A = this chain, B = another copy of it.
């Protein structure tokens, strides 16, 4: 009942174990006849190679580790799609982990991932300390939605400053002046989005107002409830956060966009739902996943040693939650 090993397959096919190894790795130096014999024997036995033994012996791995900070945010599912497609095409497999938006759990997840000695690791929206990242960095590492100064890691980010500016410009063009930003707190990429907002507001001669938030629905709702002085528009931390904002506004009896305009960030499928119809800043999610996979794989193959700083451009998607402010 124990799983068959290469030895078993070799015995059954009447060949040497070395030959089975060659066949399993798809070597061209095997005659067609023997190859089929081996494959048949393997199929009959239900043999499948032991990935760990293989990577232990070969000191290589075809596994890419992926740490997803928050499985509940649809944004990451779409990034993983891009990663998965590209990795698979290049002959790599994904092993996914989750960090639950908590630094300590992320650190555990990272350790767990490295214990598999993957060829490379992608961290999607990590909040863990940069020192913890360095400690794990004896394999190629790529950070998505988090910047880094470390030359040993690659990064894939949208231009968060530009994205926020896009939102502010859109709102100002509609006539808004009282624009609040609910930020992502210490979440990944919250800082550039915040900075972009502040700079854009200043450029328009407006006073920035930042409310502390987080990348969750609950935080968006809470932030709105805590806001005292009046405002006519809010730039939320991300789509999830924006949905919380919408709920809190509705609760308060405020209409969107007549009383308050709302802009999200990410353009996940959530924003596109007809009943949400959220104006938002689009990040090319699948492409970001693809870029991350490409960066990782090129490092793994030793094709590049300099750090890659991949930046994608966000774009504005106007839907139903933004409009001109009410004239007083």
For A276, the chain B residues whose CB sits under 8 A away are 273, 275-276
A49 adjacent to B138 (CB under 8 Å): no
A225 to B245 Cα, complex, angstroms: 31
Are A98 and B84 closer than 8 Å at their CB atoms?
yes
A residues 91-149 with Cβ under 8 Å of B? 93-98, 100, 111-112, 114-117, 135, 138
A195 to B135, CA, bound (A): 54
Q: Is the CB of B273 within 8 A of A247?
A: yes
| A175 sits at the interface (CB 8 A) | no
Q: Is A250 in contact with chain B by the CB < 8 A criterion?
A: yes
On whether A115 and B51 interact (CB within 8 A), knowing A247-B273, A250-B274, the answer reads yes
- Residues of chain B within 8 A of A138, CB atoms compared: 1, 3
Asked if A53 is an interface residue, CB under 8 A from chain B, the answer is: yes
Inter-chain contact B273/A52, CB cutoff 8 Å: no
Q: A77 interface residue, CB < 8 Å from B?
A: yes
A111 to B270, CA, bound (A): 32
Q: Give me 12 A-to-B residue pairs in the complex whose CB atoms sit less than 8 angstroms apart, sorted by A's number.
A: A3-B117, A3-B138, A51-B115, A51-B117, A52-B55, A71-B81, A72-B78, A80-B98, A94-B98, A95-B116, A243-B275, A270-B270
Q: Do residues B98 and A97 form an inter-chain contact, with CB atoms below 8 A? A: no
Q: Is the CB of A96 within 8 A of B93?
A: no
Q: Which residue of B lies closest to A61 (CB)?
A: B52
Of A52, A243, A269, the most chain B CB neighbours within 10 A belong to A52
